[in-house]
Amino acid sequence: MNNRKEYLKDVARIVVKVGTSTLTHSTGLLNYKHIESLIRQLADIHNQGIQVVLVTSGAIGAGMGKLGHTIRPETIPEKQAAAAIGQGILIHMYEKFFSEYGKTIAQILLTKEDIEDNTRHLNAHNTFLMLLEQGVIPVVNENDAVIVDEIMVGDNNAFGDNDTLSAMVTTLIGADLLIILSDIDGLYDSNPRTNPDAKIIYNVKKVTDEIRESAEGAGTSLGTGGMATKIKAAEIVVNANASMIIAEGSTPNVITDILEGIEIGTLFSENI
């Protein structure tokens, strides 16, 4: 099946992961234009009867901006301090913007252990479903302020800048689609930052070794999740019989256009 519009028309529950590069300027300060556009799209999708979960990066970036830093902290205590400041800033901002569209949100801070432990997994599952049934939009972030592993990028115990977290949330709540918004507009057959002839791959049925090898490097200095973490997320989602799309977060109306079936970004699905 190659018709995205037909394929996506029955989507009823989605998870949208937004990266730091979409939420902030290069200075580390919040990009309100992008954030307002994101929230307006999510509110409009919610008005259509689609259940929405937002997984947000940006706590460390928001904290950096508040502290006046333009270079991502290198030490774990510095990252934790920035995250502790930034989490409050982020949730306050989301509450403000979503409330303007009449939407109620709930903050959920997760760790990998919350999802892997059977009891906590069930508790989280029940909490998400109850919130969604009541028309609430859960806003999810890693608990970076207290869980050291989650901000040790490259550690096997870490989620990886919320990419893997968003995939695990997708499977946790049985969502149909995960949309990962980043600073790149999809998966390419080679690195587009170094190869001007690189071509975007619009549809992927299976993550192969060749695709894994092509996923290299991180994005901006403010973000930590490169394409490799997104490929890992795609494998988790596809194995759970859901789908995932990688797209550029700064593209106007990107979420709305994706759900309307416009061929934007890379779609990972066994059913295409």
DSSP category for residue 30: B
Q: What is the pLDDT of residue 49?
A: 97
Q: What angle do CA 100, 104, 106 make, to 5 degrees?
A: 130
CATH fold for domain 4-267: Carbamate kinase (3.40.1160)
Q: What is the pLDDT of residue 222?
A: 39
Q: Under a CB-based contact definition with an 8 Å cutoff, are residues 245 and 269 in contact?
A: no
Provide the 3-class DSSP secondary structure of residue 246.
strand
Q: What is the pLDDT of residue 43?
A: 98
Among residues 16, 17, 20, 19, which one has the least CA distance to residue 65?
Answer: 20
Q: Under a CB-based contact definition with an 8 Å cutoff, are residues 102 and 80 in contact?
A: no
Domain boundaries, the chain: 4-267
Instruction: Measure the CA–CA gap between 184 and 161, rounded to whole angstroms.
Output: 15
Q: What is the pLDDT of residue 21?
A: 82
Q: What is the pLDDT of residue 192?
A: 77
Residues of the chain with pLDDT under 50: 1, 150, 153-158, 217-225
Instruction: Measure the CA–CA gap between 187 and 228, rounded to whole angstroms.
Output: 10
Helices then strands, each counted (H, E), the chain: 11, 10
